């Protein structure tokens, strides 16, 4: 159960760091040779993933990522996780308090690896609905 909880923590940290614009911390969630797959485009490597996400999430486009319903399948030092997500965003100029609209929903397909730093993303593929 400890490994599963550690992986769930990484899933939560993904949401917090990306929403807060903490992209250096975000990068530490990924293995050095990780892959990020978005709409058929594959980005490889921790730094490239950080830079890609940072470019996609400027301050005016940030909102709240919510990850739910995770199913974790452990296999030694690797794990496969499938979870659903919602992303809520605000329109530029909208009041900051409590005004956000559902922008995206879908499913994450994640492969995790245990490294010296703990559990990290080895690969994430995002499927939109």
What pLDDT shows up at residue 94? 67
Domain ranges of the chain: 2-128
**In the 8-state DSSP scheme, what is residue 28?**
T
What pLDDT shows up at residue 21? 96
What pLDDT shows up at residue 61? 85
Query: Environment class of residue 24 by beta-carbon count within 10 Å: exposed (0-12), middle (13-18) or buried (19+)?
Result: exposed
Q: Could you tell me which residues come within 8 angstroms of residue 105 by beta carbon, excluding any fewer than 6 positions away?
A: 84, 85, 86, 87, 128, 129
What pLDDT shows up at residue 50? 98
Checking if the pLDDT of 29 tops 90, the result is yes
What pLDDT shows up at residue 118? 97
What is the CATH T-level fold of the domain 2-128, as seen in this structure?
Answer: Nuclear Transport Factor 2; Chain: A, (3.10.450)
The pLDDT tens digits for 36-68 are 999 999 999 999 999 999 999 988 889 999 999
Average pLDDT over residues 3-11: 98
Model pTM above 0.95: no
Checking if the pLDDT of 12 tops 80, the result is yes
């Amino acid at each position: 159960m400890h490994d599963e909880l550690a992986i769930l923590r990484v899933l939560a940290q993904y949401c917090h760091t990306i929403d807060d614009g903490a992209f250096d911390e975000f990068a530490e969630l990924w293995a050095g040779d990780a892959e990020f797959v978005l709409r058929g485009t594959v980005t490889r490597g921790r730094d490239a993933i950080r830079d890609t996400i940072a470019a996609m999430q400027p301050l005016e486009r940030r909102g709240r990522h919510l990850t739910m319903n995770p199913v974790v399948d452990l296999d030694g030092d690797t794990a496969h996780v499938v979870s659903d997500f919602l992303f809520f965003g605000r329109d530029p100029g909208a009041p900051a308090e409590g005004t956000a609209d559902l922008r995206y929903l879908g499913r994450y397909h994640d492969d995790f690896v245990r490294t010296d730093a703990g559990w990290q993303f080895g690969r994430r593929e995002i499927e939109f609905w």
